[in-house]
Amino acid sequence: LTQNALFGMGNPLLDICAVVDKDFLDKYGLKPNDQILAEEKHKEMFEEIVKKFKVEYHAGGATQNSVKVAQWMIQEPHKVATFFGCIGKDKFGKILKEKAEEAHVDAHYYEQSEEPTGTCAACITGDNRSLVANLAAANCYKKEKHLDLEENWKLVEKAEVYYIAGFFLTVSLESILKVAKHASENNKIFCLNLSAPFICEFFKEALMKVMPYVDILFGNETEAAAFAQERGFETEDIEEIAKKAQSLPKENKKRQRIVVFTQGKEGTVMTKGVETFPVLEINQSEIVDTTGAGDAFVGGFLSQLVQDKTFEQCIRAGHYSANVIIRHAGCTFPEKPDFH
């Protein structure tokens, strides 16, 4: 395995995690299990959550979580995973840089001072988590200011596997397309996550511009349903949705698209034929917090994909990683994995 073999680009956010109550969710109009972008009405929420509840700060952001978990699963060499994203020149940005370094991820942030580092409030109730992202700096990523720079683009070219969460479609479609086209033209593997129902609903044009370059599409059951509805797939069956998503037009004909849909404690659906793989058993009492479970699944999957393992092995690693993450607060993990 070589350094920089896995490339991720997305929104680096500092997660502000707290166990909250239903009143708090209701006050800000939040669903128990959702991911949304912060609006005006959520501004005070970020202050209130810190005042009212016991909060923990964790380095977050979907793509960054996934590449960190992949690096953790791989262990050696360090810096197999590269990450690009935008942060502010502030305390939170400094924390994100330190955390990326601790995780041995080769993070190259575009740093600017107009906007502060982005945050994400993870409002936990039981085994649900409602995520409200205030992108701030993360929204300021610029292709010409960062991705296009020679020393940065060299890192992109070094990679064999690319992963971008759908959340980044709201920030820089042109950056995603540049990377996706590079992967497609060089027969490398480009992976995308649907990330959230709102991406499928409100950013579907951007999503469909990238789709022809997608070799592996990830999502969960609610995202798959939202995607099916927006595409007019007349089915609610997750295996059927996966098959239809697989057969959407594709640029690089050398690779058949693989679609992978997780369903929480239900099995994971993968179109290789169409198979459902059961997840690892876990006792409800052992679940600390499901924040980052989907990201961890992808991270485990990518850790094996970048080593040319079978797709079945990728899924097993994904299930293992997710199972570990939900036993810890935020997207955090023990020192070493125990995956065989």
| Torsion over CA: 303, 307, 312, 313 (sign) | negative
| Rounded mean pLDDT, 10-20 | 94
* CATH number of domain containing 94: 3.40.1190.20
pLDDT for the residue 261: 97
d(CA 146, CA 311): 33
C-alpha to C-alpha distance for 1 and 132, rounded to whole angstroms: 36
157-175 mean pLDDT: 98
pLDDT of the residue at 279: 86
Query: For residue 7, is pLDDT > 80?
Result: yes
Tell me the residue range of the domain where 213 lies.
Answer: 6-13+60-117+135-326
Kindly state whether residue 19 falls inside one of the protein's structural domains.
Answer: no
pLDDT at residue number 290: 67
Residue 51 domain-assigned (yes or no):
no
Q: Residue 36 domain-assigned?
A: no
Residues 266-313: tens digit of each pLDDT? 999 999 877 788 888 888 888 776 667 899 999 999 999 999 999 999
Candidate from 21-25, 270-274, 326-330 with smallest mean pLDDT:
326-330
Tell me which DSSP letter residue 282 carries. Answer: -
Task: Tell me what pLDDT residue 264 has.
Answer: 87
User: How many structural domains is the chain composed of?
Assistant: 1
**Would you say the C-alpha torsion 34, 35, 41, 47 has a positive or negative sign?**
positive
**Owner of token pair 């990326």:** 100
pLDDT number for residue 59: 86
Q: What confidence score (pLDDT) does residue 176 get?
A: 98
Q: Is residue 334 part of a domain?
A: no
- Give the other-Cβ count within 10 Å of 277's Cβ: 16
Question: Higher-confidence residue: 291 or 85?
Answer: 85
State which amino acid sits at residue 79: K
Residue 304 is assigned to a structural domain of this protein: yes
Residue 120 has pLDDT above 70, yes or no: yes
For the stretch 209-219, pLDDT in tens is 999 999 999 99
Catalytic residue from among 15, 215, 289, 295: 295
Backbone angles phi, psi at 267, to 5 degrees: -65, 160
Pairwise pLDDT comparison (328 vs 27), residue with the higher score: 27
Distance of CA 266 to the CA centre of its chain: 20
Angle at 101 between CA 329 and CA 330, to 5 degrees: 10
Indicate if the pLDDT at residue 39 is higher than 80.
yes
Given this model, what pLDDT does residue 289 score? Answer: 67
Q: What percent of the chain has pLDDT over 70?
A: 98
Concerning whether 338 is annotated as a catalytic residue, the answer is no
In a domain, 97, yes or no: yes
Per-residue pLDDT tens digits for 43-72: 899 989 999 999 988 888 999 999 999 999
pTM strictly above 0.75: yes
